[in-house]
Structure 1
Amino acid sequence: MRTLRPHGIRVENVEASWTRRDDGPTMSDSSVARPHVVIVGCGFGGLAAAQSLADTEVDITVVDRANHHTFQPLLYQVATAGLNPSDIAQPIRHILRKQANAAVLLDEVVSVDLDSRTIQTPDRSISFDYLVLATGATHSYFGHDEWAVHAPGLKSIDDALDIRRRILLAFERAEAADDPAERERQMTFVVVGAGPTGVELAGAVKEIATRTLRSDFRSIDTTTSKVVLVEASDRVLGAFPEKLSSSAERQLVKLGIDVRTSTPVTDIDEHGVTTSAGTIPAATVLWGAGVAASPLGRDVTSGTDRAGRVEVTGQLTVADHSNVFVIGDLAHAVVDGRPVPGVAPAAQQGGRHVARCIRADLADEPRPTFAYVDKGSLATIGRSKAVADLGPKLRFGGYLAWLIWWLVHIWSLVDFRSKLRAMSGWGWQYWTGRRNARLITGLRSSRPMARRSGG
């Protein structure tokens, strides 16, 4: 099914080929024989697509508004001072440095024109033969965007550093507070949403309070800190089998976390969280309750679901545009009657599928249909605590699940240096309880710290 004619540009000439005219940015028409593949977003899906096309006769331009690829499953470790950002993120240019047919552009796509086969950034227009949209998802506050300032979500390195600052500052403000009620409020942490991110955050914050900081302060006892996990549905880890959900809740309670299911949140402000069961005074609220697809999906097609995900064909393409692929969290894909989950392995499989389709086109062969392979699900709860769903006969929790989770995530990091740093950091953290990334940065953007009376 070869219906496309190349009109793209070679990667080695991509910088020189962008020009600006009086009527706006444009791309010069270089005479080349290879199709131009534009990949928007370099998360798991976008990176897999680019790398899978390394030996293919195409020119690739990767466009991302960040200069780094982030291993998102470990963002919570950066947010809770367990790892440094460089342990889980690598510059995109460095990852693709040996891939001669790939170039990287630090920019943000603001619109897509499928008919003219162009994408638009604030400064330029870029043409494509194939387009791969892999821009992922963002936070969803279910119509209450005003909550975002009080309850940050966790999707990027910047989010993780913001959360780390809030958590560590809460203990500093508690140490400086004279009023017992204010001290208790500062040492109360509410996590909204008991999916994998919420559960991981709750467990890590409790570990910081009970192990990492217990000897660091003089006026407060950090082990008395409260961590409240609030979930609107009737159980934690709702995407997991009920047996594992119950196991996870037992492990959370054993850690000392106050788990409140069937408790929807009705308001969040600077004082804390209001739920259907009452108000929880808290200085730090973290959001893990909902996600929405990147808004770029609605710009491409009206065929989106309620979360803004693009409804794709069996080849992961937009209807009536076989050269436009949508993968990862931005795609609403259905395989064998079941929606493909928004997890890293699914995005990676989608990226590799895109490469197979493009290679099939170039060889004048039929495209394959996307077939998602579910390799199971893992969620960590805390030190030596996790749950694993590896199939109907392999569902368990506890230390073995945590060990498998640890090995899988170490193995999945981008390069050997990241693996080594993460292994050493985790080993130190496991045996000593210490988290060495406890730097409070960005104080200029934070509220002033409470002072002692007369100070």
Structure 2
Amino acid sequence: MGHKHVVIVGGGFGGISAAKRLRKADVDITIIDKNNHHLFQPLLYQVATAALSPGDIAVPIRAIMGQRKGLKVLLGEVVNINKQENYVELKSGKKISFDYLILAPGAQYNYFGNEDWKQHAPGLKSVGDALQVRERILLSLEKAEQLEDPKLREPYLTFVVIGGGPTGVEMAGAIAEIVKRNMMRDYNTFSKNETRIFLVEATSKILNGYPDSLSEKARKTLEEMGVRVLLNTPVTDINHQKVSFSKGTIETPNIIWAAGIAASPLLKSLETKQDRTGKVFVNDDLSIPNHENIFVIGDAAHKVDKNGNPLPALAPVAIQQGKFLGNLIQDEGNGKERDSFTFVDKGTMATIGRAKAVADIRGFKFSGFFAWIIWSVVHIFFLIGFRNRFRVFIEWMWHYFTFKRGVRLITDRFSTEEDKT
């Protein structure tokens, strides 16, 4: 009998964590991903705001895994899962059989049934998304530089971030630093006082899920940085260069979506129970009902903690679940019984800007410079590869002391004909 074959769909935190834990196990491993790289998504907003380059937060999956007999990394998109015959089917038509299947396909932004909004308000889930947002920001500043009439250039100096979660808060803070400080020395036509940044949240507070005191601290810090925080303001429509609410509109081509996620549509092919966002309900060992060899982890899994609350869609959850499954598969090969997965919450944090952050670590609440130091160390620690850690650390220190940003090139790669006019 040959080695057991473990197929891992997704090269994100969960998939890579499981693969690394299985690297020394007596199994064959196939990793399938639509991209050839692992992406550190929590820092995508820094690429979008020209603080970091894509290579600082993305590493080829093959480079992470190294050379190993029985390991394959395939560039492809899984479109169907056959639970009865134990194989996955790629978009190319290729079928790959498995003994164990670990599904870690990540998530996509949820536009709540308004898919046409996506072209006007991109999210931040890929390097391509980040570069698109970066080019929109830079192109707007360039257009504003050419307009003498303050009224005409107002839309190009206006930035709207929709969604008050960690990504939205971090993005709004980063844009405020760019347009109100970092890049002002590059432009002569307009001043920082003409720029407007809005953070729009449909509920009564930003950073939902954080303690109220930290949420309020984050709101006040953003407003001190020049960000207007609009609470209880659901979006009603998004068109080209305009976002509408029940009480008014804001005209701008710079609309960024960070308002909720939905699970991968691939999960529908499992034909098992899903929650309203598409996450799959999993057993205590992260397997799906009636199929103990198929597991779902990370943003794709609906798993509750000891208090009955769903686990958050955060990197630490996916990493711990990946390690758990790596151990489970190895132990099962040695005849051991399965354990139940338990998430160890080590805290949540969000950065707001230069030397500004909030953190809730096991009941201890921090804000300001100390929270930013904790955030920086944790995020650098999670980066895969020493080269990336060292480079990001140097980049951050350079930005901290000089207030200068990184690459600010416009390649015209993402601009549309409408943008060029």
Cα separation, partners in 2 of 1:45 and 1:153, compared to 1, 3 Å? same
Measure how far apart 1:416 and its partner are.
0.8
Measure how far apart 1:364 and its partner are.
1.1
Maintained 8 Å contact 1:64/1:106: yes
With normalisation by structure 2, the TM-score equals: 0.97
CA-to-aligned-CA distance 1:199-225 (integer Å, 9 cap, x gap): 011000110012211111121224531
Measure how far apart 1:102 and its partner are.
2.0
Maintained 8 Å contact 1:386/1:398: yes
Kindly provide the amino acid, as one letter, of the partner of residue 104 in structure 1: V
Please, which moves more after superposition, 103-112 or 436-445? 436-445
Aligned to 2:83: 114
CA distance in 1, matches of 2:346, 2:401: 30
Which of 71, 76, 97 in structure 1 is aligned with 2:45? Answer: 76
Where 1:69 maps in the other structure, the secondary structure is strand
CA distance in 2, matches of 1:104, 1:222: 48
Aligned to 2:397: 427
Aligned to 1:47: 16
Please list every run of at least 4 consecutive aligned residues from structure 1 whose deviation after the TM superposition is greater than 4 angstroms. 448-451
Aligned to 1:211: 181
Measure how far apart 1:277 and its partner are.
2.4
CA-to-aligned-CA distance 1:142-166 (integer Å, 9 cap, x gap): 1111110110000111111111111
CA distance in 2, matches of 1:218, 1:445: 24
Maintained 8 Å contact 2:161/2:199: yes
Which of 364, 378, 395 in structure 1 is aligned with 2:335? Answer: 364
Aligned to 1:148: 118
CA distance in 2, matches of 1:268, 1:444: 19
Aligned positions of 1:178-217 closer than 5 A? 178-217=148-187
CA distance in 2, matches of 1:449, 1:258: 26
Please, which moves more after superposition, 156-165 or 269-278? 269-278
Structure 1 unpaired stretches of 5+:
1-31
Aligned to 1:353: 324
Kindly provide the amino acid, as one letter, of the partner of residue 219 in structure 2: E
Which of 73, 77, 85 in structure 1 is aligned with 2:54? Answer: 85
Kindly provide the amino acid, as one letter, of the partner of residue 436 in structure 1: G
Maintained 8 Å contact 2:184/2:191: yes
**Number of matched pairs:** 419
Where 1:110 maps in the other structure, the secondary structure is strand
CA-to-aligned-CA distance 1:276-296 (integer Å, 9 cap, x gap): 221112221000011100011
CA distance in 1, matches of 2:399, 2:416: 28
Kindly provide the amino acid, as one letter, of the partner of residue 318 in structure 2: A
Maintained 8 Å contact 2:48/2:131: yes
Query: Does structure 1 residue 375 correspond to structure 2 residue 346?
Result: yes
Measure how far apart 1:122 and its partner are.
2.3
Kindly provide the amino acid, as one letter, of the partner of residue 44 in structure 1: F
CA-to-aligned-CA distance 1:55-81 (integer Å, 9 cap, x gap): 110000000010000011111100100
Kindly provide the amino acid, as one letter, of the partner of residue 396 in structure 1: F
Where 1:347 maps in the other structure, the secondary structure is helix
Maintained 8 Å contact 1:177/1:183: yes
CA-to-aligned-CA distance 1:424-450 (integer Å, 9 cap, x gap): 111111111111211112346434656
Query: Does structure 1 residue 344 correspond to structure 2 residue 344?
Result: no
Query: Does structure 1 residue 263 correspond to structure 2 residue 224?
Result: no
Cα separation, partners in 2 of 1:305 and 1:267, compared to 1, 3 Å? same
Where 2:269 maps in the other structure, the secondary structure is helix
Query: Does structure 1 residue 384 correspond to structure 2 residue 352?
Result: no
Measure how far apart 1:402 and its partner are.
0.7
Where 1:154 maps in the other structure, the secondary structure is coil
CA distance in 1, matches of 2:292, 2:228: 50
CA distance in 1, matches of 2:339, 2:10: 23
CA-to-aligned-CA distance 1:391-441 (integer Å, 9 cap, x gap): 22x112111101100111111110110011101111111111111211112
Where 2:130 maps in the other structure, the secondary structure is helix
Identity %: 47
Cα separation, partners in 2 of 1:444 and 1:167, compared to 1, 3 Å? closer
Aligned positions of 1:222-241 closer than 5 A? 222-241=192-211
RMSD over equivalenced CA pairs, Å: 1.3
CA distance in 2, matches of 1:338, 1:296: 24
Kindly provide the amino acid, as one letter, of the partner of residue 196 in structure 2: K
Measure how far apart 1:178 and its partner are.
4.0
Maintained 8 Å contact 2:132/2:414: no
Aligned to 1:400: 370
CA distance in 2, matches of 1:99, 1:254: 52
Maintained 8 Å contact 1:177/1:450: no
Cα separation, partners in 2 of 1:33 and 1:41, compared to 1, 3 Å? same
CA distance in 2, matches of 1:436, 1:105: 32
Where 1:131 maps in the other structure, the secondary structure is strand
CA distance in 1, matches of 2:409, 2:241: 25
CA distance in 2, matches of 1:448, 1:39: 41
CA distance in 2, matches of 1:71, 1:283: 27
CA distance in 1, matches of 2:414, 2:230: 35
Kindly provide the amino acid, as one letter, of the partner of residue 134 in structure 2: R
CA distance in 2, matches of 1:319, 1:352: 21
Structure 2 unpaired stretches of 5+:
none
Where 2:154 maps in the other structure, the secondary structure is helix
Maintained 8 Å contact 2:135/2:414: no
Aligned positions of 1:239-318 closer than 5 A? 239-318=209-288
Maintained 8 Å contact 2:279/2:299: yes
Aligned to 2:105: 135
Where 2:185 maps in the other structure, the secondary structure is coil
Maintained 8 Å contact 2:56/2:388: yes
Maintained 8 Å contact 2:148/2:189: no
Please, which moves more after superposition, 218-227 or 275-284? 218-227
With normalisation by structure 1, the TM-score equals: 0.90
